[in-house]
Amino acid sequence: MKSQPDFHTRAEIDQLVEEIYRTLETTEERLDRRYNDIYFLMDLSMSSLTSKIEAIQRELVEIQSYITRRPEASASIDRRNNKSPTFRDRHWSTTLQTEAG
């Protein structure tokens, strides 16, 4: 069995070292891009969400000031919340009046 020589020429060693460095640089660049894709994308998303929240808060302030300027609208909302008595309420009231009288 013929064995490989244990030595390399200077040019071969230089070429191997260049390939190692090139591979390391490529791997580092790939990891940097992946890092940026993950973390900067999240940062942009958080920034976008913050902007949307601020816009919604501004809209709420506008709605509240609009309602404040229109007291008749506020009264109509209150009227809708004051429901008429249900059958059960009327029955309960009648029962109480009967028992009291």
The pLDDT of residue 85: 55
Classify 6 as helix, strand or coil: coil
Judge contact between 73 and 67, C-beta under 8 A.
Answer: yes
The pLDDT of residue 60: 95
Locus of tokens 């460095």: 21
* Predicted confidence (pLDDT) per residue in 7-41, tens digit: 889 999 999 999 999 999 999 999 998 888 888 77
Quick one: CA dihedral 89, 90, 92, 97, positive or negative? positive
* Predicted confidence (pLDDT) per residue in 26-85, tens digit: 999 999 988 888 887 776 688 888 989 999 999 999 999 988 888 665 565 555 555 555
- Could you give the C-alpha distances from 49 to 22, 29, 55, in angstroms and in order? 40, 30, 10
